[in-house]
Structure 1
Amino acid sequence: MGAMSRTLVAFHAHPDDEALLTAGTMAKAAAEGHRVVLVLATNGGAGLADDDLRRIGLGQLRLAEAARSAAALGVVRVEWLGYADSGSGPEPEPDLPDVTRFCRAPVEEAAERLAAILRTERADVLLSYDAAGGYGHRDHRRVHEVGARAARIAGTPRVLEATVPRDTIARAVRLAARVYRFPEEFDPTSFERAFTARRDITHRIDVRRHVEAKRSAMRAHASQATGGGASAPGAGVQTGDRTLAVFLRIPRPLYDLVFGREWYRDPSGPFRGGVRRDVFEGLP
């Protein structure tokens, strides 16, 4: 008899976040026969992109890109919780008449929406974000709050906070700087203050066999490889969202080195035996 099939739900703030943080893990789980579901809090409509893309409706375009990304990863279901992108500027975007900005959504309301999916899917693992929201985007911080609450409501056995060791991502940015000139408003030192200390990492997932799927997921988000102007100084990967295009320009051998592993923090860890190498390890 083969290994037990599990269900992995990846909860992300915006379309393209899954490609950057958890795509390899999702592709690996799908390739191993597990059910993989992608849940997006927002449609990414406040993302930075060319004006032509904005005129045709950036949010719907980005949801379509997320569907293509999901297909490349083997995801079987994609859901949008129905909230609007809060934006990455100094203040949240103004309210919309018919859609709530995610950062203003009541945590309990949003958590109930996510918990309904977790219950239906009988999720074994929920991928979420750390309390700082990685690099600090307001929607990412809300993902952490909503994800943690939804898992409690639904009784999901494990929540893993998708992250990156600070020193690793800072090194990746330095390597990227060798082949690409970052915009003046981009603050590479912001990555040295973001994400999670290496000592707090509980899961390190080898995704090198699935790196082509990860690249395909990144390519699917073509709108976020366009210009679109600058965001707030120090906003990290939201600076024009052009960092995605930078990563795709990295030569394949170097790309495999930089993106061949993904990291998580389990709030209940660390574990006896050290860092785990499978998101389902230790589940009953």
Structure 2
Amino acid sequence: MSTIMFVHAHPDDEGTLTAGSMIRAADEGHRVIVVFATRGEHGEAPDDLQPGESVADRRVAEATRAARIAGAAGVHWLGYRDSGMAGWEQNHHPQAFLQAPAEEAAERLAALIAQERPDVLVGYDWHGNYGHPDHVRVHQVVRRAAELAEPRPRLFEATMNRDRIRRQYRLATASGVPDAEGFDPDQPMNDGNPLGTPEAEINLAVDVAAQVVRRREMMACHASQVADIRPWLELPLETYAAVFDTEHYLEVGSSDPMRPGWFF
């Protein structure tokens, strides 16, 4: 049995990016640990918030339920505040993840690595897939924490396969899928860069087709985030599976071409 640690910026990021791999790892008997840098304070505020309940409280509860579905052995929080999207005034909040000294945040994560002793550590690609400031900071912090760790875990970075997404959306548009038109993974995202990573630069394609139903259940746990989550959940299962049956990763230090495979 090995231990794998996934580091995410906000609750629901695991649902859209690595949920299938988390479920598969747990199903195969590995210890799955998930770490969230923030509690997602600047997500959508649901209509049914209870007196005294904050957006962050709701999102923590949702992430906890999702982790339970994944079979995760532990959930940790680095304790920073959601920075909001690029250019928001919340970027400058003194407790925002974006304002945290990278070395300090890396040391916090390194302490969790020392506690959980993962064999595999998973962060984000260099621009956090679409340039969200907290996602970019996750990339930086995970890289540095891996350097501080002893022994050093194998390091992977979750990404989106830009070429595959382009093919999928062209097919969806040609097939008349509602709302498919107008999406372009090559257009500038939050940081001015295209979405994800070109297929030629990706090292690992993980088959999570067998985990699609539970992956969808994990995503549904984050129901408060309507704009980000509901459109995916409204897809027919067959279409949903075609989008989410494979997850893609960069292996830091590898120049190998993309291969179907697994972390272990």
* TM-score between both structures, scaled by the size of structure 1: 0.83
- In structure 2, which of residues 17, 21, 25 is the aligned counterpart of residue 21 of structure 1? 17
Structure 2 vs 1, CA of residues 176 and 113 (structure 1 numbering), >3 Å: closer, same or farther? Answer: farther
Aligned residues: 254
C-alpha distance in 2, partners of 1:176/1:84?
37
Deviation by residue 1:3-59 (Cα, 9 ceiling, x = unmatched): xx1000000000000011000001000000000001000000111334654973001
C-alpha distance in 2, partners of 1:206/1:266?
16
Q: 8 Å contact 1:127–1:160 — kept in the other structure?
A: yes
Structure 2 vs 1, CA of residues 191 and 6 (structure 1 numbering), >3 Å: closer, same or farther? Answer: farther
C-alpha distance in 2, partners of 1:172/1:90?
30
C-alpha distance in 2, partners of 1:10/1:66?
13
Q: Which amino acid aligns with 2:18?
A: T
C-alpha distance in 2, partners of 1:180/1:224?
20
C-alpha distance in 1, partners of 2:182/2:138?
24
- Shift of residue 194 of structure 1? 1.3
Structure 2 vs 1, CA of residues 187 and 120 (structure 1 numbering), >3 Å: closer, same or farther? Answer: farther
Partner of 1:110: 105
Partner of 1:229: none
Partner of 2:80: 83
Structure 1 position 245 matched with structure 2 position 230: yes
Partner of 2:244: 259
Partner of 1:271: 256
SS in 1 for 2:98: helix
**Which 5+ residue runs of structure 1 have no aligned equivalent?**
226-241
Q: 8 Å contact 2:86–2:132 — kept in the other structure?
A: no
Deviation by residue 1:117-138 (Cα, 9 ceiling, x = unmatched): 1111111111100111110000
Q: 8 Å contact 1:169–1:191 — kept in the other structure?
A: no
Q: 8 Å contact 2:44–2:55 — kept in the other structure?
A: no
Partner of 1:63: 60
Partner of 1:158: 154
C-alpha distance in 2, partners of 1:108/1:72?
33
Structure 2 vs 1, CA of residues 12 and 187 (structure 1 numbering), >3 Å: closer, same or farther? Answer: farther
- Runs (4+) of structure 1 exceeding 6 A deviation are none
Q: 8 Å contact 1:6–1:124 — kept in the other structure?
A: yes
**Which 5+ residue runs of structure 2 have no aligned equivalent?**
188-193
- Shift of residue 152 of structure 1? 0.9
Question: RMSD value over aligned CA atoms?
Answer: 2.3
Structure 2 vs 1, CA of residues 191 and 248 (structure 1 numbering), >3 Å: closer, same or farther? Answer: farther
Q: Which amino acid aligns with 1:202?
A: N
C-alpha distance in 2, partners of 1:75/1:40?
13
C-alpha distance in 1, partners of 2:201/2:7?
21
Partner of 1:210: 211
Partner of 2:130: 135
SS in 1 for 2:90: coil
C-alpha distance in 1, partners of 2:89/2:128?
15
Between stretches 47-56 and 13-22, larger displacement belongs to 47-56
Structure 2 vs 1, CA of residues 252 and 175 (structure 1 numbering), >3 Å: closer, same or farther? Answer: farther
SS in 1 for 2:184: helix
Q: 8 Å contact 2:33–2:73 — kept in the other structure?
A: yes
**Percent of matched pairs sharing the same residue:** 43
C-alpha distance in 2, partners of 1:133/1:54?
32
Q: 8 Å contact 2:103–2:141 — kept in the other structure?
A: yes
C-alpha distance in 1, partners of 2:186/2:16?
14
Structure 1 position 122 matched with structure 2 position 103: no
Structure 2 vs 1, CA of residues 175 and 221 (structure 1 numbering), >3 Å: closer, same or farther? Answer: farther
Structure 1 position 224 matched with structure 2 position 225: yes
Structure 2 vs 1, CA of residues 77 and 59 (structure 1 numbering), >3 Å: closer, same or farther? Answer: same
Q: 8 Å contact 1:180–1:246 — kept in the other structure?
A: no
